Structure 1
Amino acid sequence: MRGIRAHIDASSVRPIVGFALYWAWIDVALVGVPLARSVAVNTLFGDLTSMVSVLFCILVYVLCYRAPALFECTRKRTVRWAIAALASAGAILVSLGGALSLGMLAGGLALIGLGMGAIVLMWAEDYASDKQGRGYVWVAGSIALSFPFYLVAIELSDWMRIVAVSVLPLASCALLAPPRQDLPLTPKSERTVFACSAADDESARACTVMGFPRNVAFWFAAFGFVFGIMQRFSGSTVFLDSVLMDFQQGGRALAAVVFFVGLCVFSWKPHTAYRLSTSIVLVGLVLVPIFGSNGSFAAGFIAHMAYGFFECMSWTIVFEVMRVHRSDAGATAGAARLLSSAGLLAGTLAIVVARTMFAADALQMQSILSSAVCILVIATMLVLDTNGIDNVWAMMKAGSDGAPSSGRSGAEVNGLLRQSAAALGQAHGLTERETQILALLAQGRTSPYISNELLIGVNTVNTHKRRIYQKLGVHDKQELIDMVAGFPSKTSDAEHDPSNNTRS
């Protein structure tokens, strides 16, 4: 219970419920209103209709990433309400468009896509402003809560459902916190797109894609690609009028519940939650081809469960990147969503074309899905490579072992630890490089992180660590952290020296 209280309090209700309404709105607008009923069923256009929204989502992410001033506009309350109103209008057009005209349907999908992209970035900024770093915990809670909201809305009559899809984005916007003007925005000139960071050591150059390490960027795109294949794996007529189709969405809610409970009750660290969630996802995806392409409930449930874990894990990575690199929400969340949305679009196109070509050959379809799962397995293995330079996995692990806090900000604590490490290193005859590594170890940093920070090899870091342990007479990291934290620095001595007190 103590873990739950640490993550969930009165201030948590607003963001969890607000983002849950957003997720429910997307599901009702794009899944609850069967688009295939409004267009030709089992045709290329019918399969790709919802991808119009994904295309406009990608457009929003690109614009906000490349032009920070556009994202700056979303901090105005009037602009936020205008975006929510357009999203509501788009949902209404989608609900009525099929009965009236395909032009209205396409226009509604475009407005939904613009609203989806903008609203998720606004919520990312809201979550990022939480000083206790509970953003990804709130995301898991909101995904889980969105499922009952979705079930209630989907069981309404047609006209009541139209009212629901028009109200949900407005209600979500109403729960957004007042925009903060002091949140930083990364200047366009400092945003890295398909470039390599400069480094003196050529072997230490870390190529990035939209600010993420290449392996992590590939993981975002690969998961979107695989889910795009899985969600279109069955024919569009299967479960079209069945309650089972609605409950397939419960797989995503179940994944979010597992993630949420693990973080709150069992005190999972971000990297622990990532590892366990990844294991569950990979086991589930290996089972999907076994169920075949006959649209079984189990296959759909596992597919949505995998996507639920992906949402939770991707937000964990996003918030850890924002925390460590101090990047703004629009740039980081927008880049992550752009990569996964592009993969989703590619996967959907691939499976639609494949199903058209191999409609009567179940073995070919099974092979395609199995190959897609292999792609995701490879991407996951790359992310779990803890020796990679600038690896988010190592960054998450380092952030979970932070040094003791004394009520000061993280920057103040790290500054005091560096001063204490310098004094301790001088007292025990540590070299300058060993003192640098000692300061980073005292902050809970791992060898891969230190390797990236100091541009030296991991083996070199480990050699220095052994020498530091020998000179200080400690046996593990916790002893080292306690020793540095308890060693007085010159600054801390001066703060506690009565002779430094002045009288007014």
Structure 2
Amino acid sequence: MRESIEGPFADWRLLGLGFWQAWQIVTMCTNTVAPTEGLLFSEGNALLVLLVLMTVAYGAVVVMSRWFAPFVSRGAFYVAAAALMAAGTVAMPLVGLFCEGALGWGLFIAAAGAAALGNALLLIMWGELWSALATGRVGRHLYASYTFAFVLFFVTYAVPEPAAVGLTAAFPVASAAVLYACRREPRREPSVVPLDVRTIPVARLLVCLFVISVIWGLTQGMVVTFAEGDPLVVPKALLLAGGGIGAITLSMMVTSSPSEALTLYRPVIPAVLAGIVLLLLKPDVYPFLGTGLIIMGIYCLDMLMMLVSTDVAFRGRIPVALSFGLAVLATRAGTLAGSVGADWLIFSPWWSAQLRTDVCLIAILLLAVIGMLFFTVADVQKLYVTPRMQRADESLEQKCAAVAAMCHLTNRESEVIVLLARGRTVPYISDELSIAQGTAKHHVSNIYRKVGVFDRQGLLDAIEQGGVGRSALAADRPDRPARA
């Protein structure tokens, strides 16, 4: 009975990232937290200031990881992240609306800096959690969290502005509290054969993330020129993006994919490309369609980046804050560069509709080249799928039996792993072994945890090469008891 109760609660706890993402959407897509008008910002851009400070904050957290990572192991960081974000969220609109001059700028930078540092710290802590989970459903949880974030955004958007500020300030507190409650989620064991991170083209991938983010910043900065006279273009675009991500979430819940990373990757380049093309073809008719597709593609990229960079860090035995932090830093720096570039172009004397078209065409060309040559499905597979060591002399059952023995799987788990290796689904396993689906899911999660893998594709790779969890080490040391 305990297993059937814990499973659903665990699933709901893993949606806590949605509170963080809701804060991000409200803050960066509306003027609720970073006001665009008032005594302080009559001639300035609060969002650009916040973007600068966020980029600096992620760099600071990466540096801090050298001494304090993993952050999730220290209770003080939960409190610090929530308090900094909440305090900064409340202070930013107050300072922006009622203060001016050097004092106002100093107070706003202090408030925005606090919110940015808390934002970076909380996201990195969520990444540290995702990296070690053994649920086999991490990608689906990420999509569900982002879908939940859109729901929270529209709730916030519908209430009066003072209440919206209060709700937005409560989001990081809720996210940190949920994250703290996830400390006892099932964790996978470290792989006996760690990933060789030297085989990963880190620099090339970071450059790709940076360029895509520059394009994101440019297009979002120029949206106002496509949507002049439509004050609701951003909410409508977010509704479209949220609906698209919700549809993908539902699809992932209904069907099982061997590699969730590839499922996350597939919409990225096509959605952003299609969005820019729609903006060019119908610039004055339905600009929210193109903007919504671009937002959906970029958010899919964010989830892919979180899933893969944290998994690479776990398998490569490097700090998650370093791997994930550098990836986020590249995207934030790119977004900042694109946003600054868009502002510079729009207010330059040579700005015109033709120049806007030329910029969009260059962006389309860059995205096409990146998608075909530099950030492809094969590149994602290299990051996520462990290279196999072929053992053709052994049958599938023998390979599964070897993994089961090394990882001390139970008799029932040994039966389940063979069915998983044959590509069978949980409902099939449930019928084949005459057990409840909840019990079958519990066995699958235990197998992932003991073998030290992320999902079914990782399990198949482990079966092929024998790169299994820490239990295998214990199997070679009969004088030491194996971990349960």
Are the structure 2 counterparts of residues 331 and 360 from structure 1 closer, same or farther at C-alpha, using a change threshold of 3 Å?
A: closer
More deviation, 354-363/149-158: 354-363
Aligned ranges for residues 394-405 of structure 1 at < 5 Å?
Answer: 394-396=382-384
Q: Deviations over 1:271-321 (max 9, x none)?
A: 254235543443333333223378822232222122222223323332442
Query: Pick from 200, 206, 210: which aligns with 1:217?
Result: 206
Q: Could you tell me how far apart the structure 1 residues matched to 2:38 and 2:109 are?
A: 11
Match of 2:167 in 1: 164
Query: Pick from 86, 89, 93: which aligns with 1:91?
Result: 89
Are the structure 2 counterparts of residues 65 and 219 from structure 1 closer, same or farther at C-alpha, using a change threshold of 3 Å?
A: same
Match of 1:54 in 2: 51
Name the structure, 1 or 2, with higher relative contact order (CA <8 Å, separation 6+): 2
Query: Pick from 302, 307, 311: which aligns with 2:298?
Result: 307
Matched, 1:29 2:27: yes
Q: Are the equivalent residues in 1 in contact too, given 2:70–2:320 (CA < 8 A)?
A: no
Report the Cα offset of residue 41 of structure 1: 7.8
Q: Could you tell me how far apart the structure 2 residues matched to 1:57 and 1:345 are?
A: 9
SS of structure 2 residue aligned to 1:168: helix
Q: Could you tell me how far apart the structure 2 residues matched to 1:408 and 1:132 are?
A: 23
SS of structure 2 residue aligned to 1:131: coil
More deviation, 85-94/378-387: 378-387
Match of 2:12 in 1: 13
SS of structure 1 residue aligned to 2:36: helix
Query: Pick from 149, 169, 176: which aligns with 2:179?
Result: 176
SS of structure 2 residue aligned to 1:357: coil
Aligned ranges for residues 236-251 of structure 1 at < 5 Å?
Answer: 242-251=231-240
More deviation, 396-405/160-169: 396-405
Matched, 1:106 2:147: no
Q: Could you tell me how far apart the structure 1 residues matched to 2:247 and 2:349 are?
A: 37
SS of structure 1 residue aligned to 2:318: coil
Report the Cα offset of residue 413 of structure 1: 6.6
Aligned ranges for residues 95-494 of structure 1 at < 5 Å?
Answer: 95-101=93-99, 102-103=104-105, 104-177=107-180, 197=198, 208=201, 212=202, 214-235=203-224, 242-268=231-257, 269=259, 270-292=261-283, 296-357=287-348, 360-384=351-375, 391-396=379-384, 412=406
Q: Deviations over 1:239-270 (max 9, x none)?
A: 79844432322233234224323433232333
Are the structure 2 counterparts of residues 276 and 147 from structure 1 closer, same or farther at C-alpha, using a change threshold of 3 Å?
A: closer
RMSD of the alignment, in Å?
Answer: 4.3
Aligned residues: 392
Match of 2:38 in 1: 38
Are the structure 2 counterparts of residues 366 and 128 from structure 1 closer, same or farther at C-alpha, using a change threshold of 3 Å?
A: same
Are the structure 2 counterparts of residues 272 and 136 from structure 1 closer, same or farther at C-alpha, using a change threshold of 3 Å?
A: closer
Amino acid at match of 2:345: A
Q: Could you tell me how far apart the structure 2 residues matched to 1:53 and 1:14 are?
A: 29
Q: Are the equivalent residues in 2 in contact too, given 1:64–1:70 (CA < 8 A)?
A: no
Q: Are the equivalent residues in 2 in contact too, given 1:234–1:295 (CA < 8 A)?
A: no
Q: Could you tell me how far apart the structure 2 residues matched to 1:79 and 1:238 are?
A: 41
Structure 2-normalised TM-score? 0.69
Amino acid at match of 2:318: S
Structure 1-normalised TM-score? 0.66
Amino acid at match of 1:137: R
More deviation, 224-233/27-36: 27-36
Match of 2:393 in 1: none
Q: Are the equivalent residues in 2 in contact too, given 1:42–1:235 (CA < 8 A)?
A: no
Are the structure 2 counterparts of residues 123 and 10 from structure 1 closer, same or farther at C-alpha, using a change threshold of 3 Å?
A: same
Q: Deviations over 1:208-266 (max 9, x none)?
A: 4xxx2x33222211221111011111338957984443232223323422432343323
Are the structure 2 counterparts of residues 115 and 164 from structure 1 closer, same or farther at C-alpha, using a change threshold of 3 Å?
A: same
Unaligned runs of 5+ in 1: 187-191, 198-205, 415-441, 445-479, 486-491, 496-504
SS of structure 2 residue aligned to 1:58: helix
SS of structure 2 residue aligned to 1:151: helix
Q: Deviations over 1:142-172 (max 9, x none)?
A: 1111111111112212221222122111111
Q: Could you tell me how far apart the structure 2 residues matched to 1:130 and 1:484 are?
A: 22
Q: Deviations over 1:442-492 (max 9, x none)?
A: 9x9xxxxxxxxxxxxxxxxxxxxxxxxxxxxxxxxxxx99x989xxxxxx9
Q: Are the equivalent residues in 1 in contact too, given 2:133–2:187 (CA < 8 A)?
A: no
Q: Could you tell me how far apart the structure 2 residues matched to 1:243 and 1:261 are?
A: 27
Report the Cα offset of residue 70 of structure 1: 3.4
